[in-house]
Structure 1
């Protein structure tokens, strides 16, 4: 193979790193791939770090130690995160999307890959330091954002279901009180997670916190620590939820009237 030029190496490196976020690549693996010396690869990494920082394209991080190397984290600055969420809030506010019961129609938003991936990166940015082993969500509307978050964190996605599936083997089932006050069932395969792991809960909507509380309880059954909870949207009322320490990207308030008006605003921590 002909000698690989620096611009070719750097293009390939950023593709490999960004294609598998939070995965550590050793310098030796890059040396073998490109046939270059370790000092040369270190210079290339330094250049990539400067470029990503200058254009706010995430973070290329060096990890020290025997298992160390280089990884890419698609971090989103607080300013860019706020700008993204403010635009979404403007699109979602008004009368056209209000549903009976104080809910809001935004399934179309959760079906747009560019928006969902960005929300996942914003959430992941807040929880890199907690080092979750997996992302947990409840079927079904929360799956796209939870998957995008898991991808940005470089960890698996685990999905709790309303009932167990035969093809998932034996399962743990718990009962929980939903936001409407009814008793519902939550199920998770025993093979999905392991004891003493750490979970990040991600879901699409938070009202009273019943479903989120159920997921926390489910993790207790597996002896798994919940290191954070994040939601796309939370209602302003009730102000006191059944969970604490959660973060939502947006807050929803539906004002009385005919027609009812949805007021969607960025969460306080983004301001």
Structure 2
């Protein structure tokens, strides 16, 4: 997605050779038009997979996942990062570290919203080390649902997350792949 690459170059802030801040378009503020374009692109890539639900992790993955679910005409389910008083006590749960937050959290999905009859597309904003993605994959597998693929808005391909998911035999499609943040510069893969 050339429009996404351009926005990353214009608005992304390279914090270090490992961290790219995308608050202006993914993680704090959302451009609805660009987000809907992302959803259309993911939907086009996965339309033939018979997706019955889109799954993401709160909160930064929700806009792109919503746009994708809208385009596919299926429900969006998001894995919560916090248990609430009303949470399903039998929810599917995985403990995952967060690369950007530097903490370990539980992610959970109620069994009410994911079942063995589902064909799941997992959409997320960024993949770095892939811990959250691996946690969601485990939840989907334990539910008995079929994971048809993973869509990532920004893959930092110099980190192991995307590669680790692909090595599990899972189809992973990224809208943008960044191969380096060295010298304060974003370098994309072709």
Shorter-chain TM-score bucket reads 0.7 to 0.9
Query: Which secondary structure state, in structure 2, belongs to the residue aligned with residue 127 of structure 1?
Result: helix
Q: What's the TM-score, normalizing by structure 1?
A: 0.60
SS in 2 for 1:173: strand
Q: CA deviation at 1:188?
A: 1.2
Residues 1-271 of structure 1: matches in 2 within 5 Å? 85-93=1-9, 97-100=13-16, 102-110=18-26, 111-170=30-89, 171-176=91-96, 178-179=98-99, 183-238=104-159, 241-244=163-166, 245-257=171-183, 260-264=184-188, 268=190
Runs of 4+ in 1 over 4 A off after TM superposition: 177-183
Q: Distance in 1 between matches of 2:95 and 2:181?
A: 33
Q: Residue 251 of structure 1: CA displacement? A: 1.2
SS of the residue corresponding to residue 164 of structure 1 reads coil
Q: State whether residues 95 and 105 of structure 2, in contact with CA within 8 Å, keep that contact through their aligned partners in structure 1.
A: yes
Deviation at 1:242, TM superposition (A): 2.2
Bigger-Rg structure (1/2): 1
TM-score normalised by L of structure 2 = 0.84
Q: Offset at 1:185? A: 1.7
* Shift in Å, 1:96: 6.0
Deviation at 1:154, TM superposition (A): 0.2
State the SS of the aligned residue for 1:165: coil
Whether the aligned pair in 2 keeps the contact of 1:94 and 1:261 (CA below 8 Å) is no
Q: Whose relative contact order is higher, 1 or 2, with alpha carbons under 8 Å and at least 6 apart? A: 2
**Which consecutive unaligned segments of at least 5 residues does structure 1 have?**
1-84
Coordinate RMSD, CA, aligned: 2.3
